[in-house]
Chain A
Amino acid sequence: MPEPKSPELIDEKGIRIDGRRLDQLRSIKLEVGVLDKADGSAYVEQGKNKILVAVYGPREAHPKHIALPERAVLRCRYHMAPFSVEERKSPAPSRREMELSKVIRESLEPVVLTDLYPRTTIDLFVEVLQSDGGSRCAGITGASLALADAGIPMTELVAACAVGKVQGRLALDLSDAEDKHGEADLPVAFVPNANLVTLLQMDGLLTTAEFEKGLQMAVEACKTIHTMQREALKKKYHEIKEVVEEKEESEVVA
């Protein structure tokens, strides 16, 4: 079946081409408040993924007829930059991007307290500047940070991570190369305290036993990412606190 023989992705010791173990995440960098004009923003690097997320809102619904009388409308656009992939991607929204916009929105709906802002919209823009497998998950991780950065009340942060099957073995957080030659991809978003899986997609082939094990691996990884998200948020407020304290000190001296 794999004709031009696919490269060896996992060695006999269970080490992957980028040196990771099967249950190891790629290096993740999370930052919040990276954009000036947006009400909230976040930047995510996961492997070679580079993703910017901005939140605008709650703001007046435009056009008015899209507003809902009892809650805010959550809107989401997942979009890939033309230079984010190997071959230039047309900037027009593809069917894939439209589907991902929908599933990303649905993964966040349960945590946002939308009923506090009736007749408004909360707009979420996920821009993939460079894609390296698992960009929808990194997008969700960033989107919930950007929502928190915008000060939008939420029950908690949503974290996301994919598990895949490569050369017959389950592996966490597939990179582009692994995804391309992999046998299955299982992206998952998880809300830890509510114990809810809010994004679940799968393509490829998995037995039900593999699915259950893969789901468990993804959920554990989401818990790790959730901790990192909280650290990233705290870091921003520590920085603000330091600036304020410095200012206060200099005022006292003056």
Chain B
Amino acid sequence: MSSTPQLPPVAKLEQKTVVDLIARGKRIDERGPDSYRPIQIQVGLIEKANGSAQVSLGKSKVLVGVKVEVGEPFPDTPDEGVLTVNAELVPLASPSFEPGPPGEMAIELARVVDRGIRESKAVDVKSLSIQKGKKVQVVYVDVYVLDHDGNLIDAAAMAALGALVNAKVGKFEMKGDEVVVKPGHHPLPINNYPVAVTLAKVGKTILVDPSLEEEQVMSARLTVTTDKNGSICAMQKGGLSGFTVDELKRAVELAVQKAAENRAKILAVAKG
């Protein structure tokens, strides 16, 4: 069952400072309303994964590992590979994260990242079939949150894209009834580059890339994932309030612009 979240007891004074600054067009870390915190991307840190990427968004840190294994296709798509995204809010990342099965925050994070990749057809699942109806490649995208200082969705989506672009797999072949993997360094078939941009509404102001302090005072949140052509492929509103239609239009416009900037940064590292 989903419950109204219990916010950590941030001093009322601190909340007021954050809100007052934003109302005056400033932010607690001195950014402008439409600037991101510094973005750092590293790829290939985990040798045992097919692909990996770590993204730092200010002090937020997310590691994504991609593993490609052999599995069975879903009955309704017998000739398509399988893509699954899972997210773990590791307890070392925040005092509010606890061990145990994923809660709604982890599930939402995974599903929003998943929708961006799936709906933009970033991974060409058709070419991941090994034997129709029987064997396909299964791409596991595991999001591992290491340090939570806000805006995990954008960091996770960027790291997932980086890890997918970075991934190298062997060649999967049928030998009789068995699948054998010939060693090799083939890239995954990636056709699109979805990038998520999250905006927060504080008072009447719309900000990109909310930090944890800002997330704790925002009234609502919107994630817009856009593909390489600037089309929208996923959206998710969160938070206890909402947006007006005009705010949504502005937010989407800003998201498309920011996504293009961030996409260039990720690809420069991941493809490099």
Contact = CB atoms under 8 A, between A and B. Distances in A.
Nearest to A73: B4
Contact of B119 (A72, A96, A199, A203): A203
Which of B115, B231, B243 has the most chain A CB within a 10 Å cutoff? Answer: B231
Interface in A163-201: 186, 191, 194-201
A61 B3 CA distance: 11
B14 interface: no
A102 B248 CA distance: 20
Nearest to B108: A99
B234 A203 contact: yes
User: Helix, strand, loop or mixed for chain A's interface?
Assistant: mixed
A110 B240 CA distance: 6
A121 B6 CA distance: 13
A197 B2 contact: no
B111 A95 contact: yes
Interface in B100-147: 104, 107-108, 110-111, 115, 118-120
Contact of B232 (A66, A110, A211): A211
B234 A74 contact: no
B256 A103 contact: no
A201 B233 CA distance: 10
Interface stretch (A33-41, A146-154, A212-220, A244-252): A212-220
B104 A99 contact: yes
Contact of A95 (B3, B107, B248): B107
B203 interface: no
A200 B120 contact: no
Secondary structure of the B contact surface, majority rule: mixed
A7 interface: no
B1 interface: yes
Interface string A134-154: 000000000000000000000
Interface string A201-244: 11111111001100110010000000000000000000000000
A23 interface: no
Interface string B211-242: 00000000000100001001111111111111
B53 interface: no
Interface in B1-28: 1-4, 6
Given A95-B110, A203-B234, A211-B252, A198 B242 contact: yes
B212 to A, nearest CB: 19
Nearest to A195: B244
A107 B243 CA distance: 11
B243 A200 contact: yes
B217 to A, nearest CB: 15
B111 A73 contact: no
Given A109-B4, A196-B243, A102 B236 contact: no
A103 B221 CA distance: 12
B243 A77 contact: no
A101 interface: yes
B119 A204 contact: yes
Contacts of A106: 237-240
B244 A102 contact: no
B111 A208 contact: no
A208 B248 CA distance: 11
B182 to A, nearest CB: 29
A140 to B, nearest CB: 12
A197 B232 contact: no
A212 B253 CA distance: 11
B60 to A, nearest CB: 21
Nearest to A212: B249
14 contacts: A74-B3, A99-B111, A103-B237, A106-B239, A110-B241, A191-B242, A195-B244, A196-B243, A197-B243, A197-B245, A198-B241, A200-B235, A205-B120, A208-B256
Interface of A: 66, 68, 71-77, 95-96, 98-99, 101-107, 109-110, 114, 121, 123, 186, 191, 194-208, 211-212, 215-216, 219
Interface of B: 1-4, 6, 104, 107-108, 110-111, 115, 118-120, 222, 227, 230-245, 248-249, 252-253, 256
Chain A to chain B: the 4 pairs with minimum beta-carbon distance, closest first? A196-B242, A202-B235, A198-B242, A200-B237
